[in-house]
Structure 1
Amino acid sequence: MSEPSGPLENLLGLLDLERVEQDIFRGESRSALVPRVFGGQVAAQALVAAGRTVPDGLPQGPGPTRPEKTPSAHSLHAYFLRPGDPGAPIVYTVDRIRDGRSFTTRRVVAVQHGQPIFHLSASFQAYEEGLEHQVRMPAAPDPETLPTAADALPRDLPPDVAARLVEARAAVDLRYAEAPPWATVGRPREPRSQVWFRTAGKLDGQDAGSLLHVCLATYVSDMTLLDSVLLAHGRGGWAVGDVVGASLDHAMWFHRPFRADEWLLYDQESPTSGGGRGLGQARIWTRDGRLAVTVIQEGVVRVPRNG
């Protein structure tokens, strides 16, 4: 892969928050999708803020110590409270809930225009060995055999919609194993979707499992998770205007180290939808078959009155 492209450099810049005070950070915001801040951006920035307050070299729990003493993120739980304004910065305030021997907990509130728009709780764990098992990785086509997200766009999409889709995902090489929902409108199918992704360039100087890789996966995790809800009903989503949607809450568990600049399989499904909400659940796998992340999200999924 090439060095970071302009879009990837821009994304990395978004994640490089300004420290205003010891536990207060400020991030820029933008959106190429809809006139609000992309939820994955807010979640990733909040996790950056939380991670920057976690001290290095915390003592570990009982038993033999290992050199990997710096805690790494192992879970996050978040609520999207209000739409973010892409024209204004976001202020992230971090509460240091607990610094433990093995686990460290942080709470982050994102504020715009004096109001909270997002709430995150994140937990970090110092390295330790334990029982190991995982389920088997599902079958999926090789990413190199699949078209890029830009190449897979239907030709009949309005030019402005197509341009926004390409721009929004330019920092990430995203490849659908099957046609995305906006390409199969009116043809319901199994509520399951597979997407391969990696950043559009290498991330030199960053070890697998570092905060940056975790935050980039957090950013991408909000892009496609509710696609499976749309697929079950033959809906195309915001791209064609037949569904109004927004993320409500988001949870992730980071099981094993991974690199966001190497291919990751995002295997997603929707077990249910109803009451104006849809649920998506997913697993993220490394290409060599290691289960890296589990993701669950609920979102608003409404049919417009004229739809």
Structure 2
Amino acid sequence: MTQALDSLLDLLDLERIEQDIFRGVSRPSLVPRVFGGQVAAQALVAAGRTVPDDRPAHSLHAYFLRPGDAGAPIVYTVDRIRDGRSFTTRRVVAVQHGQPIFHLSASFQTYEEGLEHQEPMPPAPDPRTLPDAEEMLPKYAHLFGDPEVPRRLSEARAAVDLRYVNEPPYAAAVSGPSEPRSQVWFRTNGRLDGERDQPMLHICLATYVSDMTLLDSVLLAHGRGGWAVGDVVGASLDHAMWFHRPFRADEWLLYDQESPTAQGGRGLGKGRIFTEDGRLAVSVIQEGVVRVPHGRTAG
């Protein structure tokens, strides 16, 4: 296990301060606020700590209410909404400085047999043939106005090996608008084993990663490079995930993403996460703020 992954797992190992109250810390983000994927993953960890181990999460629905302060702890309060024979429902509120910054509802289910079908996995190259961040970022360093951006990108994603199938969104600032679709392969930079090899932790890690690139397809449609090149200001508004089939976050997963619409300063992203052998593991939908800074033309 890499040091970066070990640090991320420590971040998700919340402190229990009361029966249904947990405390988490943050780490520096790419933008001056707490990374949304971190808050979502930590909230799901808090909810999962109050649910029997044989009931993994099957869905979550969340709202980002306020920017998080990376320099202050986050307190997660879990409300035990329902404990049924097959399903368990939890509500989590994340609080900082006396105000809610995030709200999550999650549902958990005991495994059972049922009808089975899925969409086919779309074509994608072998992830091992694609450049990792260390190989890719120097190629685009000239696009960033701030020379610290490549280092911050590399550090923020050191725990996750994330590989773009095509060019990353910040290249769109030069190449121009393209089809609003994006694909990335990802897995943790290290193997989960021992006490940390738990189904819920794999789900929480996928939740963390799911917020990294989902709105990329919105940027591609307009030839925008995003915060890294300063031509878009954005933030997550809401986030929903459905966990269909078991998967491992430390094995290659294909994140196939698209944007059906953008309007009113908001953009919608839809994603499907497939295992390398073609099983549809997760579906994701997110809407986010996508604003063009003052003085730049909205294309």
Give TM class, smaller chain. over 0.9
Q: Identity across aligned pairs (percent)?
A: 79
Match of 2:147 in 1: 159
Match of 2:268 in 1: 279
1:15 aligned onto 2:15: no
For 2:104 and 2:291, locate their aligned partners in 1 and report how far apart those are by CA, in whole Å.
Answer: 25
Instruction: Tell me the SS of whatever aligns to 2:135.
Output: coil
Match of 1:72 in 2: 56
Match of 1:112 in 2: 96
Could you tell me the TM-score, scaled by structure 1's length?
A: 0.93
Structure 2 counterpart of 1:172, one-letter code: V
Counterparts of residues 130-279 of structure 1 (less than 5 Å): 130-153=114-137, 154-156=140-142, 157=144, 158-186=146-174, 187-205=176-194, 210-279=199-268
Contact residue 208 and residue 258 of structure 1 kept, 8 A: no
1:295 aligned onto 2:292: no
The offset of 1:149, in angstroms, is 2.1
For 2:214 and 2:90, locate their aligned partners in 1 and report how far apart those are by CA, in whole Å.
Answer: 25
Contact residue 82 and residue 117 of structure 1 kept, 8 A: yes
For 1:226 and 1:259, locate their aligned partners in 2 and report how far apart those are by CA, in whole Å.
Answer: 23
Report the CA distance shift for 1:290/1:209 in structure 2 as closer, same or farther (over 3 A).
farther
1:52 to 39, 49, 52: 49
For 2:279 and 2:26, locate their aligned partners in 1 and report how far apart those are by CA, in whole Å.
Answer: 33
The one-character-per-residue Cα deviations of 1:11-37 (angstroms, maximum 9, x if unpaired) are 000000000000000000123301100
Structure with more of its chain in helix, by fraction: 2
Large movers: runs of 4+ above 2 Å = 205-209
Could you tell me the TM-score, scaled by structure 2's length?
A: 0.95
Counterparts of residues 35-46 of structure 1 (less than 5 Å): 35-46=32-43
For 2:38 and 2:136, locate their aligned partners in 1 and report how far apart those are by CA, in whole Å.
Answer: 24
Structure 2 counterpart of 1:195, one-letter code: V
Contact residue 209 and residue 259 of structure 1 kept, 8 A: no
For 1:32 and 1:249, locate their aligned partners in 2 and report how far apart those are by CA, in whole Å.
Answer: 19
Contact residue 206 and residue 212 of structure 1 kept, 8 A: no
Contact residue 72 and residue 209 of structure 1 kept, 8 A: no
The one-character-per-residue Cα deviations of 1:258-286 (angstroms, maximum 9, x if unpaired) are 00000000000000000000000010000
Structure 1 counterpart of 2:248, one-letter code: R
